Structure 1
């Protein structure tokens, strides 16, 4: 039986134990490649992917948000949202405001400096998306998203049992 592309990439001598294992390793390998490319782009602007994600969330919301809600919306889970926000505040990209009704809640607001930086990143970010996955057709991209969402949905039901 011929080796799969992933099997060759990983220089794996034996076949994968299952199609599920091969698919997940393909997802992880692809994610790593993409993550490295985006990490390199954001580093050019003095940001990490997680910092960029926070700023993107705040810009999209258009108003200050509770820090825990930002954490819930992150693409990748960040265990230390407070430290991440500390670093963004030190760069003057966000401001913190404590809620007057509930002192435990901290609202995070994006600054004009961060909005200006995001505007600079928008075009290179879009170009990188196209470079990495633009060779797929619109139908293929739709199907890929559908399959990945279906895979994640099954995980949610497994976690609830």
Structure 2
């Protein structure tokens, strides 16, 4: 268990350091990826929270920072005007696009020596552990 926690901590630190020059945190990066995947419709705050890797209890504040940075915007849901949705902006899309290749390179640097089959086995093992948590 300690080895998993240590590895997760090391990976989180590495991602944090990687993203610093871009002015975003790993949590903000995760939210932007979720919004990119949602497309033009966007997502309600609670849906974003459910999809986050880390359960951040204050999605509103996270979105406030993304909106202030011009990476996301808020609006009303087209089908239910009571619901506030968040959408990624063109600036947010451009930022993610600029990060895609460098992050893939980082991923390759970290996991490339494992080989495809060994990496897939490892990911299956992690899935099995996560199912029991």
- Quick check: which one's helix share is greater? 2
**1:135 alignment partner, SS class:** helix
Structure 1: which 5+ residue stretches go unaligned? 1-23, 156-161
2:124 corresponds in structure 1 to: 146
Question: Helix, strand or coil: the match of 2:113?
Answer: coil
Give me the TM-score of the superposition, normalised by structure 1: 0.77
Partner of 2:60: 82
2:4 maps to which of 19, 22, 27: 27
Which consecutive residues of structure 2, in runs of 5 or more, have no partner in the other structure? none
Aligned-partner Cα distance in 2 for 1:73–1:30: 22
Give, in whole Å, the separation in 1 of the partners of 2:111 and 2:98.
Answer: 22
Shift of 1:147: 0.8
TM-score, length of structure 2 as denominator length: 0.93
User: Shift of residue 99 of structure 1?
Assistant: 3.1
Q: How many Å apart are 1:80 and its aligned residue?
A: 0.8
Structure exhibiting the larger radius of gyration computed from Cα positions = 1
Q: CA RMSD in A?
A: 1.2
**2: CA distance, partners of 1:118 / 1:129:** 15
Query: Cα offset for 1:102?
Result: 4.8
Whole-angstrom distance in 1 between the partners of 2:75 and 2:38: 16
C-alpha distance after superposition, 1:112-131 (max 9, x if no partner): 01111111111111111111
Matched-pair contact (CA < 8 Å) for 1:34–1:132: no
User: In 2, are the aligned partners of 1:98 and 1:106 still within 8 Å (CA)?
Assistant: yes
Deviation beyond 4 Å, 4+ runs, structure 1: none
- Please name the residue that 1:52 is paired with: 29
Deviation of 1:98 (Å): 2.6
